[in-house]
Structures are given as C-alpha cells and as structure tokens.
Structure 1
Amino acid sequence: MIDILLATYNGEQFIENQLLSIIGQTYKNWRLVIHDDGSSDQTIGILKKYQSIDERICLVEDGVTCHSAAKNFLHLLTYSKAEYIIFCDQDDIWFESKLQTLFEAIADRNSPAAVYCNAFAYNGVYITKDKVSLFERDCLANSLFLNSGVQGCSLMFNRALLNELSDFPEFIVMHDHYITMGAICFGEIKYVDHSLMLYRQHFKNVTGNVATSFKQRIFNFFNYANPILDRDHYEANKSFFEKFKDKFTPEQTSIFKAYIKFPSLNFFEKIYYIFKHNFRIGNNKSVLLLKLFF
C-alpha cells in the first residue's frame, strides 16, 4: 500500500486535474490522504465530490490549520499508515506510470530508503523539453550546497525511513528537504532518470517558479540573488545535525561540522574546505567553485 499525502489550500483551479491523474495511475493499491489548510474557495467541495466517487480518497477534517505547506505536509505524516509514502502537490499532473515506476524501484528495500524521479515544467500551455531537476544527489557532500531537498512531489520513501525521522528537529525549512536529508544520512536515495509528471508553474507556486528554458535556469542558478548557502536551508541543516548528531558516522559528523563552519571562512579557506571534504553540487565540484567565484 502507498499513502499519497496531498496538502491543499485554495486549489480549485487545478486540483481536479491532479485528482484525475492520481485515479488514473496504473498502480492501484494506494490511499490518498488529504488535509486542507483552510481553503476559502471551492477546493473542499471538489475534494468531497471525488471522495464520494473513490473510496481510496480520504479527506482529513480535524480542524487543524497549519498556515504553511511544509507544516501541512508534516501534519499529514501523522495520518500515514502505509509502508510507502509519497507527497503530492495540488496543482501538478502525474503521468499514469509514476506510482508504479517509483514503487518498483524501492519495493525490495527493507532498510530506510527513498527514490525520486524528474519532471517537466508546465505553465498551462507550454511544456519544457528540459527536466526540472538539474543535479542528482546520493550523499551528504553533494547535497548540502544544493539549498533544497529532492522535489517533494517526486519523492517516494518507505516506513523504515519515516521511523528514523519521527522525532522532528527544532527547525524544518521544508518537508521534502527533511526527508531528503534523512534518506542521505540514514539510508539510501535512488534516482530514476525519467520525467513522470508535469510540474505546473504559476504565480501561486509555494516554492517559486522554475524557468522553462535551460539557459534561464542556469542563469538563475548563478545569479547573485541565489547564494552559495541559503540561510533557511543552512539553519535547517544545522538543526538536523543537532537533533541527530549521535546517529551520524564519524565521516558524516566531519562533513556537517565543515559545512556549518563554511560561512565563517575566508575565500581561500572555503576553496580548501571544498577540496578537503569533497563538497560539490550534484556530482560536479566545478559548479560549486564557479558559484564561489561568481
């Protein structure tokens, strides 16, 4: 069984397309658990309509208002009972093979594990031919400087991983970043090199828009406004380290401490630390070095 966790808020414009794409999945053994964050439009009515159509759809009405997408998703985790979990945004469209493909990639893992795929950006008219995620990750050294987690709606993980992370740190910047860090530190994370959904881009996106051209995305990545270390993700990584420091290997502890110290270093010390600890963005050290220079 797979629990699909859907956090909603004023999503009447797009939610029906997403629900239809979930119902159309080739993998059928799923439960859609939905928690709304106080919508004032017709979102609840649409959700109840589909709940009456498909008994696998469960709308949680507990009176809790989270006031953020991240907190809403973390709240949803408390309602999950399945062995496999995947987050779901209200405005995307899943290809029919998404659940099946991700499940098959992780089904043989009994230890903590996660798997993720890619996506195409979609603005309602145009679908980019480029993939949304530019960089893969599989360890601590090539993940910390990405200033993000794996895109939440692309990420499936097992109960064993969630059990490792059930006691939350003091600060979590985003639900997907938290699960990604857990998979990298306490289990394994696997990448399936397929785009299995349309990641919808519009002005209401919680996590910001993805440029639809590869050139613009590269420009944005090196833009001065996109720092080497984003403050919120830096603080979240520090909080993660403090919470779980007794569980890390000596190598992971060394990498975390170097990362935490990084902002206080001078330019040449930063270069030294990048080489000493093999820090990189994805699997490319030169990208991090270029970002440092520019």
Structure 2
Amino acid sequence: MKVSVAMATYNGEKYLKQQIDSILSQLGNEDELIISDDHSSDQTPAIIKKYISEDHRVKLFMNDEKGVTSNFENAIKRTQNEIIFLSDQDDVWKPEKVKTVKDYYEKNPTIQMIMSDITVVDNQLNTTIESFYEFRGSRAGVLKNIIKNSYIGCAMSFKKELKTKILPIPRNVPMHDMWIGLVADMNKSALLIPEKLIYYRRHDATVTSVENTSSLKDKILWRFQISSLLLKSFITNR
C-alpha cells in the first residue's frame, strides 16, 4: 500500500525540519509528502523548497483560502496514494508509525480510518501527558464524539476511498479531524489502536489544542450543525 502524508504548515520554521525528517525516514520511494502552506511569513516555504530540491517525494502547494481546515483540505485533495496520513508541522513521528498503521489496515480490510494514541510533550519533547486516549477518554462512536470529541488529526490516517465522503470539509464544523472521525464512524469504519505513535508537541505557537475551550452556546450550535451535516453526508454517500 502506497502512502501519502498530508501536512499543513503555517510559520512552522522552528520545528518543521525535525518533523519532516521523522516522516521521510519511514516513506518508500513511491510514497509522497504533500504539504499545503497557509501563507507563511517566516522561513517555512524556504525549508520546504530545500527538501523538494533534494527529494522527489516532497511537494508543496499554497492554500487558496486561509485557516487550518482549508489548509488540511488543500493537502488532502492533492494526495494520490491509497493510505493518507495527516500531519502537523511541529510533532515527531515515532519510527514505527507508518509500518504499524499499514499492518492494521492489512489485517482489517473493512476499516477506512485509523487513529493511534499519542504522547503529549513540551518544546523539548519532555512528556506532559502520557496518553491522549486517557486524557480525552478516546473511543469510536458517533454519539460519543458529538457529545465529547476525542479525535485528533495528527494521529489519523484514512484510506483513499474515504476522501469522497469527507471532502469538501464543511467550514462550519469545529475542526477537520472531528469531521473525518465522525464520517468514518457513520460508515462504521473507524478503528482506534492503542499504540502511541507520535510525540505531539505543545508550545506557545501551537494552532490546535488538546482541550475544548469553546463557550456553551458555541458547543450547542456546532453539535446541531455537525449532526445535520453528518446526516446529509451519510444520505448522499449511500
């Protein structure tokens, strides 16, 4: 199974090289790293272009819109291979990540989305939360993840056939990863595996969060919105 990695970047020069190196070391010659950049103003594009000049697997596309969701959508829609991994710009993949996930897909042919556990770390990769699963109470299930989302994109991968069901990602969902996880749940094709396969780095400039800080009003609104969107998507893709 060939692999595509869909990475979203934005002013990520500080940790980007470490993340890219941890990914490329696990990819085969026919795999690819697709990067969508959200109009970075630092050295992020220059770092990526240097990789492009040295490695045919790395490709860069600029995000036509602005924002995390559209940036990931832009990367995802450019991917070509059978298994698509999502990637942040500032984490570190453990060396066994790609092989472990591919093995699970081979053993579970009906599964379309796999998420692993992760270890949350600080700037220097010191552990701050040993298990994201334990911290968020992660498990699959539509109702469970509408009530309290436990999906996190950096630990996700999915098969190519799921792309038609998740794209375009609605702009009024809280985050892209929640949408992907719930669409997989609606199709009874989500699998959460116990292995911790990423060092998930938290720092002052991090865009995403392990905690939900939305207001009660916003939480009620997006739960209603995402429930309606999921039902519509499920009917459309039947």
Q: TM-score range by the shorter chain?
A: 0.7 to 0.9
The corresponding residue for 1:231 is 218
* TM-score normalised by L of structure 1: 0.70
The corresponding residue for 2:132 is 132
Which amino acid letter does the alignment assign opposite residue 25 of structure 2?
A: G
Change (3 A) 1:237 1:100: farther
Looking at structure 2, the residues matched to 199 and 22 of structure 1 have their Cα atoms a distance apart, in angstroms, of: 14
Secondary structure (helix, strand or coil) at the match of 2:198 reads strand
The question of 1:70 aligning with 2:69 is answered yes
State whether residues 140 and 185 of structure 1, in contact with CA within 8 Å, keep that contact through their aligned partners in structure 2: yes
Looking at structure 1, the residues matched to 171 and 197 of structure 2 have their Cα atoms a distance apart, in angstroms, of: 33
Alignment of structure 1 residues 71-220 onto 2, 5 Å: 71-107=70-106, 111=110, 113-125=112-124, 126-128=126-128, 130-134=130-134, 135-146=137-148, 148-169=149-170, 171-208=172-209, 210=210
Looking at structure 1, the residues matched to 193 and 28 of structure 2 have their Cα atoms a distance apart, in angstroms, of: 17
**Residue by residue, what CA displacement relative to the aligned partner does 1:58-110 show, whole Å, maximum 9, x if unpaired?**
1124xx44321122102222212222111100000001111111122123555
Looking at structure 2, the residues matched to 8 and 245 of structure 1 have their Cα atoms a distance apart, in angstroms, of: 31
Alignment of structure 1 residues 248-287 onto 2, 5 Å: none
Which amino acid letter does the alignment assign opposite residue 116 of structure 1?
A: M
Equivalent residue pairs, number: 231
Say which is worse superposed, 98-107 or 161-170, in terms of deviation.
161-170
Q: Quick one: percent identity of the two aligned structures?
A: 26
Change (3 A) 1:35 1:183: same
State whether residues 161 and 187 of structure 1, in contact with CA within 8 Å, keep that contact through their aligned partners in structure 2: no
State whether residues 112 and 161 of structure 1, in contact with CA within 8 Å, keep that contact through their aligned partners in structure 2: no
Structure 2 segments unaligned to the other structure (5+ residues): none
Deviation at 1:12, TM superposition (A): 0.7
Looking at structure 1, the residues matched to 68 and 150 of structure 2 have their Cα atoms a distance apart, in angstroms, of: 15
Which amino acid letter does the alignment assign opposite residue 17 of structure 1?
A: Q
State whether residues 115 and 155 of structure 1, in contact with CA within 8 Å, keep that contact through their aligned partners in structure 2: yes
Deviation at 1:193, TM superposition (A): 0.6
Change (3 A) 1:27 1:138: farther
Secondary structure (helix, strand or coil) at the match of 1:90 reads coil
The corresponding residue for 1:5 is 6
State whether residues 182 and 230 of structure 2, in contact with CA within 8 Å, keep that contact through their aligned partners in structure 1: no
State whether residues 131 and 196 of structure 2, in contact with CA within 8 Å, keep that contact through their aligned partners in structure 1: yes
Looking at structure 2, the residues matched to 190 and 75 of structure 1 have their Cα atoms a distance apart, in angstroms, of: 25
**Residue by residue, what CA displacement relative to the aligned partner does 1:168-210 show, whole Å, maximum 9, x if unpaired?**
44622211011011011123211111111110110111123x5
Say which is worse superposed, 160-169 or 118-127, in terms of deviation.
160-169
The corresponding residue for 1:33 is 34
Change (3 A) 1:244 1:78: same
Q: CA RMSD in A?
A: 2.6
Change (3 A) 1:207 1:33: same
Structure 1 segments unaligned to the other structure (5+ residues): 211-219, 250-294
Deviation at 1:167, TM superposition (A): 4.6
Which amino acid letter does the alignment assign opposite residue 218 of structure 2?
A: R
Which amino acid letter does the alignment assign opposite residue 96 of structure 1?
A: P
Which amino acid letter does the alignment assign opposite residue 242 of structure 1?
A: S
State whether residues 87 and 156 of structure 1, in contact with CA within 8 Å, keep that contact through their aligned partners in structure 2: yes
Looking at structure 1, the residues matched to 171 and 15 of structure 2 have their Cα atoms a distance apart, in angstroms, of: 33
Looking at structure 2, the residues matched to 159 and 110 of structure 1 have their Cα atoms a distance apart, in angstroms, of: 13
Looking at structure 2, the residues matched to 246 and 108 of structure 1 have their Cα atoms a distance apart, in angstroms, of: 31
Looking at structure 1, the residues matched to 86 and 139 of structure 2 have their Cα atoms a distance apart, in angstroms, of: 19
Higher relative contact order (CA 8 A, sep 6+): 2
State whether residues 169 and 179 of structure 2, in contact with CA within 8 Å, keep that contact through their aligned partners in structure 1: no
Larger Rg: 1
**Residue by residue, what CA displacement relative to the aligned partner does 1:224-274 show, whole Å, maximum 9, x if unpaired?**
x677x6725x4344333323425659xxxxxxxxxxxxxxxxxxxxxxxxx
